[in-house]
């Protein structure tokens, strides 16, 4: 498996090798050795999520209080989507920057975003499935969002697809408003938490 860092620090794209034959296809979307080499610590799994979306559905931009936050390793086992990561960490050198990668059921690329980063996606075709492996269980009191339509961010939603957005996401604050309201993670707190994870004892067999 190959990996590369994205332009938003502490986010990575993973590209697994596919093994097709006359029976079909085999692929391993998550491989721990590659993950450890990229991130510097094991993937912690607190919850797995599965969503199915119509074409044009935008979910996000979501993030969680950090620590502990909620890191995500995501891939698309059916359909295709444009996955977007936004640096919402106050004090980050790349605060407000975003990066985006197409995830689909042809290449099976995956994305990892560390705790404190914002995440969203748009489904590019009907019945698109997103699989999330999350480091922490859902915590409704610690979950937040910013609107995916924030004009200051200018996120790359396709102009030729009719958008379907939940009322909750549509009326969420902009990045600037969320900063004013004290909702955003602090970069220094996030970095300290990443360092803590990397220095934890290795409990693998």
For 72, the token pair is: 């995500």
Residue 82's domain comprises 2-16+27-190
For 94-128, letters b (16+ CB in 10 Å) and e give eeeebbbbebbbeebbbbbbbbbbbbbbbbbbeeb
Residue 31 resides in a domain: yes
Q: Is residue 67 part of a domain?
A: yes
**In 10 A of CB 156, how many CB atoms?**
12
Tell me, yes or no, whether 196 lies in a domain.
Answer: no
97-148 pLDDT, tens digit per residue, is: 999 999 999 999 999 999 999 999 999 999 999 999 999 999 999 999 999 9
Query: Which one is catalytic: 112, 119, 132, 194?
Result: 132
CATH at residue 43: 2.60.120.10
Kindly indicate the confidence band of residue 197, based on its pLDDT and cuts at 50, 70 and 90: very high
Q: Is the pLDDT of residue 39 over 60?
A: yes
Alpha helix stretches (DSSP H) within 14-160: 32-39
The answer, as to whether pTM is greater than 0.85, is yes
Instruction: Please report whether residue 106 resides in a domain.
Output: yes
| 41 in Cβ contact with 144 (< 8 Å) | no
Residue 133 domain-assigned (yes or no) = yes
Is 203 inside a domain boundary? no
More confident residue, 41 or 204: 41
The domain total for the chain is: 1
What tens digit of pLDDT does each residue of 8-26 get? 999 999 999 989 899 999 9
Alpha helices in the chain (DSSP H): 32-39, 167-170, 175-180, 187-199
Catalytic residue, chosen from 62, 73, 187, 194, is 62
199 within some domain: no
> Token digits for 86?
């936004």
Residue 114 resides in a domain: yes
Within 8 A by CB and 6+ apart from 101, the residues are 6, 13, 82, 83, 109, 111
Q: Is 112 assigned a catalytic role?
A: no
Question: Closest Cα to residue 130, out of 98, 152, 108?
Answer: 108
Is 132 an annotated catalytic residue? yes
């Amino acid at each position: 498996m190959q990996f590369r860092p994205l332009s938003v620090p502490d986010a990575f794209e993973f590209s697994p090798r596919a093994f097709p034959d006359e029976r079909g296809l085999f692929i391993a979307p998550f491989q721990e050795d590659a993950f450890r080499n990229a991130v510097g610590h094991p993937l912690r799994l607190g919850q797995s999520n599965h969503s199915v979306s119509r074409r044009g559905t935008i979910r996000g931009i979501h993030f969680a209080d950090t620590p502990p936050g909620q890191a995500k390793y995501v891939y698309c086992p059916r359909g295709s989507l444009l996955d977007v990561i936004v640096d919402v960490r106050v004090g980050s050198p790349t605060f407000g920057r975003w990066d985006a990668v197409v995830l689909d059921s042809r290449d099976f690329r995956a994305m990892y975003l560390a705790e404190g980063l914002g995440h969203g996606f748009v489904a590019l075709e009907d019945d698109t499935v997103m699989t999330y492996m999350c480091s922490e269980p859902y915590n409704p009191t610690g979950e937040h969002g910013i609107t995916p339509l924030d004009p200051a961010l200018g996120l790359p939603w396709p102009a030729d697809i009719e958008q379907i957005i939940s009322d909750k996401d549509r009326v969420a604050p902009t990045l600037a408003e969320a900063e004013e309201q004290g909702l955003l993670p602090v970069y220094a707190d996030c970095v300290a938490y990443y360092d803590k994870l990397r220095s934890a004892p290795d409990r693998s067999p």
